[in-house]
Amino acid sequence: MQTYESYAEYYHDLTKYTPEGIASNQHRLDFNKQPTLFKEYPNRKLIDISHLLPLDKNPFSDAGIKNPDSFNSEEKSLSVLSKILYFSNGITAIVPFEDKPFYMRASPSAGGLYPTEIYVYVHDYPGLENGLYNYQALKQSLVQIYKGDLKNKISSAAFNHPAVEKSKIILILTGVFYRSSWRYQDRAYRRICLDTGHVIGNMELVSYSCGLKQVPIGGFNDQLINELLMLDENEEQVLSLISFVDKDSDLNFSVPNALPSKLDNKNIKTSEGNRLLELHQRSRSTNLVNVPNVSIENIEDKFKFSTKVEFEKNARSFGWKDKLLPVILRRRSTRAYTGESITIEELASIFEFTYRPDLMIEKNIDSKPVYFDSSLIQTFIAVNGVDGLEEGCYYFSQNEFHLRQVRFKNFRDEVYYLCLGQELGHKASVVVFHTANLSRAVFKYGERAYRYLHLDAGHLGQRMNLAAINLGLGVSGIGGFFDDQVNEVLGIPENVAVVYITTIGVPAKTS
Ligand SMILES: Cc1cc2nc3c(=O)[nH]c(=O)nc-3n(C[C@H](O)[C@H](O)[C@H](O)COP(=O)(O)O)c2cc1C
């Protein structure tokens, strides 16, 4: 067997899609074992927060919608919480079916399986007793699962991250593994983290619009947090803590947002069906480990790419004022593209919002989102139809905001094949490949790197979703692709792993 430095690399290799693997996979969806997508706490009282939403009508209860001008101070603070939860993981559309309706959420999720659960810890927060709550999306309510002060416990589980001390709200995001593995088997871990990253993307922008700055915390003792939430660890575990500080706070915290776990490549061989949980278990932290000084290679120095295209000058401000919430409500993953081209201005504007919001002239939207470590992510794009840009595969430099052409050719047919024959890949104008040098990432963050990479790729993907929707374009994530063939065909360096794909294009009328 090949040797691996980390379990994460072993997991990544063994969950790759290959043409032979897909052809021989016997897995069929068992609808008798379909997961439930909502957690229930029978006999516990629901605290309704639906009437505090900024909506025209209350879809959750008869309580109506209260006019914000008449909020008392408790309602004001509860409305902030209601808004952050709803616009990140709440139900924004209901599709009627004969047996039961299908609930669509504010953030996209691979296969519509919504593995992300949100728990809320509040401390000295007007309107709610100190304690832990589960967000009940189905009723836009909270259910108390623990009453009392847990600040010290959470703080020490988070290795005393100073943002915890400053926060009145701490959200705890977990992954319910089976919701996604029911369909995607071991590879589901990738999608669970990507999905959760999308939720984090919305959360960050919405909280900023409420005067809060989101600080994701990736370093914590997993077991202690799981115990506080009373989770069955075979089914569900914590993925991230999110703290919120005043938006003008000094964010130069002494502890980084992402901390490493150790590398664990002993007795690596694991049977199919057990690799998801095994990776997560091996990525857990128990104590604070400092981040080693690892520089992430500059891909442009290493690979001498050809033609350089400066495209910062093409970016336009497309205006977010009062648009964020309507855009989130409107967002859906595009189901079909026309195949028409978008413009270089549209592409550059989407990229500016996604990767370099600090360059935007617009100041009413968070211009410095905090990631776990987005320097780990490298971006390549296949341009199939962009007016003003030659067809081909490009490397995109986040720092310099330019493109470097890697291969010259229209990749429509190839991308269609690489995305497992999904028409979205064929008709998209641009296909974005979120990639990372996995061996450098695990060297820096141990097994936990895998989690950070996918959470951050999802976060970036969500910004891309919102920017595209704001421009009236179509967008959809793609989690299923032939991993190694993507590198071969597009000329993406071999040591760079593709972790996620986002497609952008002109939406067909039916979608
Ligand atoms: C991580 C991730 C992977 C996805 N992969 C695919 C995919 O391979 N093919 C596809 O058609 N849609 C894909 N989607 C889109 C989902 O199918 C879509 O989000 C889900 O059906 C919910 O619908 P909505 O996004 O319109 O709310 C993906 C979404 C995410 C977040």
Residues having CB closer than 6 A to ligand 1 are 104, 108-112, 191, 194-195, 198, 332-333, 422, 424, 476-480
Per-chain mean pLDDT for the chain: 95
| Collapsed DSSP state (helix, strand, coil) of residue 77 | helix
Q: Give, for ligand 1, the residue of 423, 478, 501 to mutate: max count of ligand atoms closer than 8 Å to Cβ.
A: 478
DSSP 221: B
45-282 CATH fold:
NADH Oxidase (3.40.109)
Residue of minimum CA distance from atom 9 in ligand 1: 478
Pairing mode, strands 169-176 and 236-246:
antiparallel
**String of b and e for 133-167 (b: at least 16 CB within 10 Å)?**
bbbbbebbbbbbbeeeebbeebbebbbebbbbeeb
Query: What is the pLDDT at residue 62?
Result: 94
Structure tokens at 191: 């999608």
In the chain, where does the domain assigned CATH 3.40.109.10 lie? 45-282, 299-505
Torsion of CA 148, 154, 156, 159, to 10 degrees: -170
State which ligand 1 atom lies nearest to the alpha carbon of 191.
Answer: 1
**Could you say which architecture CATH assigns to the domain 299-505?**
3-Layer(aba) Sandwich (3.40)
Whole-number Å distance between alpha carbons of 384 and 505: 10
**Cα of 461 from ligand 1 centre, angstroms:** 11
Q: Distances in Å between the alpha carbon of 222 and those of 177, 241, 285, 343?
A: 15, 10, 6, 45
Global confidence as pTM: 0.98
**Cα of 312 from ligand 1 centre, angstroms:** 29
**Cα of 500 from ligand 1 centre, angstroms:** 12
Q: Give, for ligand 1, the residue of 476, 486, 499, 501 to mutate: max count of ligand atoms closer than 8 Å to Cβ.
A: 476
Number of Cα atoms under 13 Å in the Cβ half of residue 98: 0
Using H for helix, E for strand and C for coil, what is the string for 157-192?
HCCCCHHHHHCCEEEEEEEEHHHHHHHHHHHHHHHH
CB-CB neighbours of 491 under 10 Å: 16
Q: Which parts of the chain have pLDDT scores under 70?
A: 510-511
Which of these, 119, 128, 142, 114, lies nearest to 48 by C-alpha position? 142
Query: What is the pLDDT at residue 98?
Result: 87
**Cα of 335 from ligand 1 centre, angstroms:** 9
Query: What is the pLDDT at residue 510?
Result: 67
**Cα of 442 from ligand 1 centre, angstroms:** 27
Query: What is the pLDDT at residue 511?
Result: 46
Contact indicator for 473, 342 with CB cutoff of 8 Å: yes
